Amino acid sequence: MTSARGAASGIKRAIAGVGTTWRSMPAQTRRWVAPGVALLLVLLFPLYRSGLTGIPGAGRYFPDVESMIVMLIFTMMAVSLNVVVGYAGLLDLGYVAFYAIGAYTVAVFASTQFGGTNEHPRTIRFGAIAPESLPGIHISIWLLLLLAAVVTAVLGVMIGLPTLRLRGDYLAIVTLGFGEILPQVARNGDDLFGTGFNLTGGSSGITPVDPPGFGESLNSVLPFLPENFRTAENSARLFYWSALALLVLTIFCCLRLRDSRLGRAWVAIREDETAAAAAMGIPLMRTKTWAYAVGAFFGGLAGGFFASFKSSAFDTDFFFQISIFILCMVILGGMGNIWGVIVGALFLSYLDRYGLNTLGSDINGRFGTTLDIPKYTFLIFGVILLVTMLFRPEGLFPEARRKAEIEEGVHDEPLYEESLYDTQHE
Amino acid sequence: MGLLLVGAVVAWLVVNLIESPAQFMTVFVLGITFGSLYGLIALGYTLVYGILELINFAHGDLFMIGGLLSGTFIISIFDLQGGKVWYVLWPLLLLTLVIAATLCASINVGIEAIAYRRLRNAPRLAPLITAVAMSFILQGIGLIFWGPRPTSTNNLVSESKVFDLNGFSVTWNKLVVILVTAPVLIGLIWLVQKTRQGKAMRAVAQDMQAASMMGINVNRTISFTFAVGGALAGVAGILWMIYPGQMRFDTGFQTGLIAFTAAVLGGIGNLKGAVAGAMVIGLIQAFNEGLSIGSPGSNWTQSIVFSILILILVFRPEGLLGERTPEGQ
């Protein structure tokens, strides 16, 4: 009795202590506590995962590290799409193009794609960790990630320049058009325009793609830098931590951009294009193009890393469904709010990669049904998107400003004035 | 630049016409057949856009549902495959057409009531995203009920030739598509231009508030428009099961995008423009896939169609025949 009371008061005192520390912290520091704790939990995930799976019932619902890697990559894409859709208010239905271009850029320069023929092998190497005997172009993945991001950003600008003049739904259609043209180019790219030039490997794709790594010489000097991610003992963890590092980089850049002059210009354009241009003197085209370039840059980075992780680039990487899937994450989480988008992205990609399958086999096992869960993903994501739009169009964790815009409808001309007819004729 | 491109295309067509006229004409008829199908779907986009300024992404998938529904009726319920006699085949096909059109019209009205009506005053992106969601839901339904493999009919309407002139031939199943489409289109134009309901549709499209002040029931008119669009999608669905005769859960999305391109090409919101645009797109597709001299081939059809879409949107958003655009005003 007394010991229980003692423990209770001890806990109370501990909580009070935490509270005092919390209050004494400057607001600047306080803001970073929650993200910091979350980051720490995510960072250490591979180390304590095996402990979690032991929990009866719920244990099987914790994703494995491989699924977590894919989830992190998708989160990265959602955060960068958020720059285009959430900050600047430009609906992009062909976002997958950026990610696939990144993937192909890495794949072309880190595989045997341009290895020449057996009689005349061709080898170009630069800091790569692939074996010397392997023909083809092999460049260090770290450099290629940067190259992929830059190439994709340049392509984003090229797509953006002629099309960003269009407003709202027309822009969405044009991006969708690009999203449909590019996969066909990739699919027919094994024989471009009948010249026999094989750029993309056609429908058989490009595989295998080199893994990231630091190489033998660096490894011998600094043994904590692994030589080759794929052959390393803890391969999955290395990929996981590098994906996390890239994600943190993306989040950091997007947060800083949001508060920059450019970020404020994006929001101004989103809220009222005419006022932004006329009253604030914001250059419309340049500002919008920057949004595209930034979104493309990080999309390409994510795609490039994904190609290296799964060791391939296929034309099916361009599926329109992936664009919609990423858009779903942004909308569900709350357009414009990075933290919301991260939650939305982790949740949806978790469902896609791991949760739905586990849930499905659980249901099948318990009720003896034979549900084929992948069959239902279309329907499930459609319903999630629909329900979100109907009942909470601002998303689960809306940015205050965006919420106000949606409620008051300042972003775009509302289609109609508050209508007279709704009540009169019903 | 534009003129140069058109000139090159015309020259290419003329060369093909002179070299192999029979093939050219056969391909031409094929193009008109696909143009008819695209036209029926494109009208659904253009009707809804004209009135709500909403790109109804789910429309192509509604067409898919219509096709798969009529496929079920044709294959399982009425068992019409394998060359039935004409007095069994045609009445039952007509019945299937009526059923498919009615069901699709009801579904489309339901979609509007559930998904779009609430968002009529929301920013423009909200109903657009909802339309994408509806498209996914319809695709999911198609996948769940009809599975991932295509549903196809064989030997439904005779594939024998109506006539054959030195290799230029037209088969019955293609002719049927054109013969059904023509009266439907004429009926639609009559409906919109001559009837009271059509007048109400045009009034609502022009100014919703003013129309309601004139005593037009706006909600009912919008529902009616969705019903008409849905019925056209249903007709297109059953015709698609006659020719080309194969449908899968994702056929509608692709076809819908092509039909939407046709609507934009003709000037979205413009009924005759949608049909004209659909014929142009159908012909472009057929020429690209069917002509033997210097055509890029079916691998590139999509790229060509969507390049046209992008070029039109960037350089002439009001379309070929032009009417209302959000850009122009």
Burial A212-228 (b: 16+ CB within 10 A, else e): bbbeeeebeeeeeebbb
- CA dist list (Å): A41 to A38, A47, A49, A241, A338: 5, 10, 11, 12, 18
* pLDDT over 90 (residue A166): no
**Which DSSP state fits A125?**
E
**Side-by-side strand order, sheet with A123-126:** A110-111, A136-139, A123-126
* pLDDT above 70: percentage of residues in chain B: 97
Q: What is the pLDDT of residues B18-57, one digit of tens each?
A: 888 888 888 999 999 999 999 999 999 999 998 888 889 8
- Hey, is the C-beta of B295 within 8 angstroms of any chain A C-beta? no
pLDDT band at A426 (very low <50, low <70, confident <90, very high): very low
List the 320-339 stretch of A: residues with Cβ below 8 A of B. 320, 324, 327, 331
* A221 near B CB under 8 A: no
Please state which of the ranges A45-54, A193-202, A306-315, B22-31 shows the lowest mean pLDDT.
Answer: A193-202
Say whether A378 and B260 touch across the interface (CB within 8 A).
no
Query: Quick one: pLDDT band at residue A306, thresholds 50, 70, 90?
Result: very high
Instruction: Give the pLDDT confidence of A349-384 residue by residue, as tens digits.
Output: 998 888 888 888 888 888 877 777 777 888 888 898
How much is the pTM?
Answer: 0.85
Which chain B residues touch A181 with a CB distance below 8 Å? 302-303, 306-307
Q: What is the mean pLDDT of residues B284-312?
A: 85
Give B255's contacts in chain A (Cβ within 8 Å): none
Q: Return the pLDDT at A213.
A: 81
Q: With a cut of 60, say whether residue B223 has pLDDT above it.
A: yes
Of B119, B219, B303, nearest to A181 by CB-CB distance is B303
Contact A295, A84 (CB under 8 A): yes
Binary contact (B299, A187; C-beta < 8 A): yes
Question: Using one digit for the tens of pLDDT, what is the confidence trace for A169-192?
Answer: 788 888 888 888 888 888 888 776
Residues of B whose CB is below 8 A from A418: 121
Please check whether residue B71 is in contact with residue B247, taking contact to mean a CB–CB distance below 8 angstroms: yes
Q: Quick count: other Cβ atoms within 10 Å of Cβ A42?
A: 16
Residue A413: predicted pLDDT? 45
| Residue B319, token pair as written in the block | 């379309």
Each residue's pLDDT tens digit, A87-145: 998 888 889 888 889 999 999 988 888 877 677 777 777 777 777 777 888 888 899 99
Angle at B152 between CA B148 and CA B157, to 5 degrees: 165
Res B247: pLDDT: 93
Nearest to A409 among B121, B143, B310 (CB): B121
Of residues A137 and A6, more confidently modeled? A137
pLDDT for A150 beyond 80: yes
pLDDT of residue A194: 61
Query: Do A375 and B208 count as a contact with CB atoms less than 8 A apart?
Result: no
Q: What is the model's pLDDT at position A195?
A: 64
pLDDT at B231 (0 to 100): 96
Preferred mutation among B48, B55, B124, B139 to probe A, highest tally of A CBs within 10 A: B124
Whether the pLDDT of residue B58 is over 70: the answer is yes
**Roughly what angle, to the nearest 10 degrees, separates helices B271-290 and B172-194?**
160
Least confident of A10-24, A136-150, B252-266: A10-24
